Amino acid sequence: MQVSISDAINQLLEVLEQDQITTNETVRQLHAKDESHHEPVLPDVVVYPRSTLDVQNILKIANEFKIPVVPFGVGSSLEGNVIPVNKGISIDFSLMNSILEIRPDDLLVKVQPGVTRLQLNKELKKYGLQFTVDPGADATIGGMTATNASGTTAVCYGVMRDQVRDLEVVLADGTIMHTGNLAVKSSSGYNLNGLFVGSEGTLGCFTEITLRVFGIPEFVTAGRALFDTIDSAVQAVTAIRQAGIQIGRVELVDEASVRQANIYNDTNYEEKPTIFLEFHGNQSGMAEDVSFTKDIFEEYGCTNFAFETDTASRNKLWEVRHSIAYAFIHGFPGKKMMTTDVCVPISKLAEAIRFARSQIEVTSLVGGIVGHVGDGNFHALVMYNPQSDEEKLSATKFNENIVNFALKNGGTCTGEHGVGIGKAKYQQTEHGNSLEVMKAIKKLFDPNNILNPGKIFIS
């Protein structure tokens, strides 16, 4: 350990309680990785702030000693976003997990970054409200804000950036500032909310997050629609999107993924390309949307459209959908998952998924495709043996080819996972000379490059 870090730790010990700081090996191991395939790196120290003031003190010390800091929620990120690649301080926000204020009349809630989405929804339910962003994992609100997370409901309620009304942020030098207000809209000053959402801890640390919430819809119906080919399934979804049908969720799951999900969940869903979907709204409006959707799906050869109206089987359906990544991981012990996260214009989605399917074949690895197809965002994944250079190379190439397809077609390398480590190499191609502007903004906020260095930008 270099001198600077030990000096920094000594100073941290002066501003934090004993139980808020540790160099314990096991704890550092827990903060060395996320749920991605990226290699773990141990931080030098892990700290547990209890307040904005703690975060301010931590950042002041880190900045003085030029020690990297990485904000950490529950480690459910998927591109190495929380891996401390340059070591330093991992800031674990698990002690800052209070729901600070619920304003039902304003449909707003203010939380600390360590609150998880299920914790928040459990509380909101008492008010007939819901926080809609649903990435699958029970991620923290701080982490979801940092990566601009979305998930199955974005097609209806928007992504994380659409929900954030205000952030309390601590900057690299310890300055505490706010990025927004409590109004529904504003044309005052520059839009700092949008800039900080998705900044992956590279511009500052969030200490309070004010979010828009929604009333729990009056009626909800979920269903599964089976198709003969993945192509017709995607085209059917594109058609209902273009028809402007109000949809709550619309998810594609290919045959291989249904198979894996059946094994993992002990379900017996028919192993065909399937659209999992959900409708939200008032009873009669929803009924009309459902029947309109059925008509369109039949045009595209939908063979079976089964509905789950009771809450239990509806929850089971989404549990199965969300289990797929884990189903693959648990299904192939010792293997790692390489997953893509591209988002393409709707008109290119069917072609993109055909291409992705072909790329899975090329690897001759086990893989599947799932995705938030209503938004043009999907995940093509393969399972590879990290001990085999050949499989590793093949999985990496697979990821690259799909990203390059997306970028060539007006899409993005990441729809919701964030850039982290894995997508940094595509930033130049995707953003062109606006990447220089992004780097200048980074330098402006973080001159010593202490805030999650090595993420978004290749250092």
In the range 341-370, which residues lie near a second copy by CB under 8 A?
341, 343-347
Q: For the window 60-99, what string marks contact with a second copy as x by the rule CB under 8 A? A: ----------------------------------------
According to CB under 8 A, which one of 24, 181, 304, 387 is a site residue for a second copy? 181
Between strands 274-281 and 219-226, the pairing is antiparallel
Query: Position of tokens 């800052």?
Result: 96
For residues 33 and 42, the answer to whether their CB atoms sit within 8 Å is no
Between strands 336-339 and 367-372, the pairing is unpaired
214 is an interface residue for a second copy by CB under 8 A: yes
For residues 130 and 124, the answer to whether their CB atoms sit within 8 Å is yes
- Give the span between the Cα atoms of 223 and 232, in whole angstroms: 17
Question: Least distance (Å) from a second copy to the CB of residue 412?
Answer: 4
Could you give the angle at the alpha carbon of 158 between the alpha carbons of 441 and 344, nearest 5°?
75
Question: Least distance (Å) from a second copy to the CB of residue 415?
Answer: 5
Question: Least distance (Å) from a second copy to the CB of residue 30?
Answer: 25
Binders of a second copy among residues 126 to 165 (CB under 8 A) are: 147-150, 154, 159, 161-162
Q: What is the 3-state secondary structure (H, E, C) of 394-452?
A: HHHHHHHHHHHHHHHCCCECECCCCCCCCCHHHHHHHHCCHHHHHHHHHHHHCCCCCEC
423 is an interface residue for a second copy by CB under 8 A: yes
429 is an interface residue for a second copy by CB under 8 A: no
381 is an interface residue for a second copy by CB under 8 A: no
Q: Which is nearer to a second copy, 311 or 429 (CB)?
A: 429
Question: Least distance (Å) from a second copy to the CB of residue 166?
Answer: 9
DSSP percent split of the chain into helix, strand, coil, nearest 5: 45, 20, 35
Residue 414 main-chain phi, psi, to 5 deg? -145, 120
244 is an interface residue for a second copy by CB under 8 A: yes
Q: Which is nearer to a second copy, 189 or 334 (CB)?
A: 189
Could you give the angle at the alpha carbon of 248 between the alpha carbons of 200 and 214, nearest 5°?
65
Question: Least distance (Å) from a second copy to the CB of residue 410?
Answer: 4
> Residues 50, 51, 54, 58: is their CA dihedral positive or negative?
positive
According to CB under 8 A, which one of 15, 50, 95, 104 is a site residue for a second copy? 104
192 is an interface residue for a second copy by CB under 8 A: yes
212 is an interface residue for a second copy by CB under 8 A: no
Which of these segments, 31-39, 50-58, 214-222, 378-386, binds a second copy (CB under 8 A)? 214-222
Between strands 89-92 and 69-72, the pairing is parallel
Question: Least distance (Å) from a second copy to the CB of residue 401?
Answer: 18
According to CB under 8 A, which one of 14, 26, 185, 268 is a site residue for a second copy? 185
Question: Least distance (Å) from a second copy to the CB of residue 154?
Answer: 6
Which of these segments, 58-66, 178-186, 329-337, 354-362, binds a second copy (CB under 8 A)? 178-186
According to CB under 8 A, which one of 2, 13, 29, 215 is a site residue for a second copy? 215
Judged by CB under 8 A, the number of residues near a second copy is: 95
According to CB under 8 A, which one of 217, 301, 331, 386 is a site residue for a second copy? 217
53 is an interface residue for a second copy by CB under 8 A: no
- Give the span between the Cα atoms of 455 and 199, in whole angstroms: 9
Establish how many alpha carbons lie within 13 A of residue 266's alpha carbon, considering only the half-sphere containing its beta carbon: 0
Within a 10 A sphere around the Cβ of 427, how many other Cβ atoms?
Answer: 18
According to CB under 8 A, which one of 44, 208, 289, 391 is a site residue for a second copy? 289
430 is an interface residue for a second copy by CB under 8 A: yes
Q: Which is nearer to a second copy, 92 or 289 (CB)?
A: 289
Q: Which is nearer to a second copy, 270 or 410 (CB)?
A: 410
According to CB under 8 A, which one of 357, 392, 397, 431 is a site residue for a second copy? 431
- Give the span between the Cα atoms of 255 and 227, in whole angstroms: 10
Question: Least distance (Å) from a second copy to the CB of residue 106?
Answer: 5
Look up residue 81 and give its amino acid. N
Binders of a second copy among residues 392 to 421 (CB under 8 A) are: 406, 410-419
Residue 140 main-chain phi, psi, to 5 deg? -85, 155
Residue 423 main-chain phi, psi, to 5 deg? -105, 5
> Residues 131, 135, 141, 146: is their CA dihedral positive or negative?
negative
